[in-house]
Amino acid sequence: MVFDVTSQSWAGKPYDAIVRTAERDGSVAVVPVGSVEQHGHHMPVATDTILADAVATLGAQRVADAVPVLVTPPVWTGNSPHHMPFGGTVSVGVHGLLDLLERIADSVLDNGFDALVFLNGHGGNAATVNDAVSTVGDAHPGAEVSALTYFELAADFIHEVRESDTGGMTHAGEFETSLMLHLEPDLVDTDALEATPLDEPYDRAGQDLFEGGPLSVYRTFDEYSASGAIGDPHLATAEKGARIYDTLGDELADLLSTIHDQTA
């Protein structure tokens, strides 16, 4: 199956059904934004895309009875130059990603949707996705345009499930590996897990997915890790992934309901 084809899937609809959804008051289109980049030896390069798409779909399903919402096929590539030394990565860079998101948004909103949400799955995309909110919003003043990175939805909850110290929930660590073990266990090679906590020298820089900082720092991931993964995937479990996924779905559903109420 190439695309998810639940009842909230844009890709699984005939065109007139998409237009009818868009014409309803408070209609929302969700655009998952991922990447194709190395995730160590134990996870697939499409991890960020798979997870963003899954969370977007779950959130949309949970409000489907009350909110006219569709989830587009995911944007599968993003801004990932820092992963290039390992191979396997496809990156379009900042300008390529911004142009791609603007063009997708133009097409989506031209169908008549009242709101568009970019649901990002890769930290390296975040600044560009946020820029797209401004440029798309300026080009479509009648639409509600917003974005967030999906794992930020778990910020208030993650302390209930995490076991890793700071640095253990970063790239292909406890958090992402748990989600993949729940959603796509056949794509996780549990014999290839390697723990490499993030060793970031700047105290004001990000130390973890959930321990951010005000300082932006650029360096390629081979300076952090020989495998490309950062964190402690040994602490990941499918049970944790199920709890995290369920919470992410609830949080996104709440956001989609609020956007619907704002635009209806």
Give the pair of three-digit tokens for residue 213. 């900082």
Question: What's the CA gap between 60 and 4, in Å, rounded?
Answer: 12
What is the model's pLDDT at position 5? Answer: 65
User: For residue 7, what pLDDT is reported?
Assistant: 79
pLDDT of 28 strictly over 60: yes
5 in a structural domain: no
Secondary structure letter of residue 73 according to DSSP = P
Specify whether the CB–CB gap between 110 and 23 falls below 8 A. no
Domain housing 79: 15-259
- What secondary structure letter does DSSP report for 253? H
In DSSP terms, 202 is beta-bridged to: none
Residue-wise pLDDT tens digits, 212-236: 999 999 999 999 999 999 999 999 9
Q: Please name which of 164, 178, 169, 162 lies closest in space to residue 210, comparing C-alpha atoms.
A: 169
Q: Is the pLDDT of residue 192 over 80?
A: yes
Cβ 234 vs Cβ 144: under 8 Å: no
- Write down the pLDDT at residue 2: 47
Q: Is residue 45 part of a domain?
A: yes
Q: Is residue 177 part of a domain?
A: yes
| Mean pLDDT, residues 68-91 taken together | 98
pLDDT at res. 164: 96
Say yes or no to pLDDT of 4 above 80: no
Share of residues in the chain with pLDDT > 70 (%): 98
Residue 87 has a pLDDT of: 97
Cβ atoms of 206 and 200 within 8 Å: the answer is: yes
In a domain, 10, yes or no: no
pLDDT of residue 3: 53
Please name the residue that has the structure tokens 């963003």. 52
Closest Cα to residue 70, out of 130, 114, 134?
114
Tokens of 212: 């951010």
Tens-place pLDDT, residues 133-172 = 999 999 999 999 999 999 999 999 999 999 999 999 999 9
Q: What mean pLDDT is reported for the chain?
A: 96
Give the mean model confidence (pLDDT) for residues 189-212: 95
- CATH number of domain containing 66: 3.40.50.10310
- Strand, coil or helix: what is 211? strand
The DSSP result for 139-175, as a single string, is H-TTSEEEEEEGGGGGTTTGGGT--SPTTSSSTTSHH
Mean pLDDT of 23-42: 98
Q: Is residue 215 part of a domain?
A: yes
Terminal Cα distance for the chain, rounded = 34
Does residue 107 lie in a domain region?
yes
Cα radius of gyration rounded to whole Å, the chain? 18
| DSSP codes of every residue in 77-103 | -B--GGGGGGS--BB-HHHHHHHHHHH
Into how many domains does the chain fold? 1
Q: Is residue 7 part of a domain?
A: no
Classify residue 1: in a domain, yes or no.
no
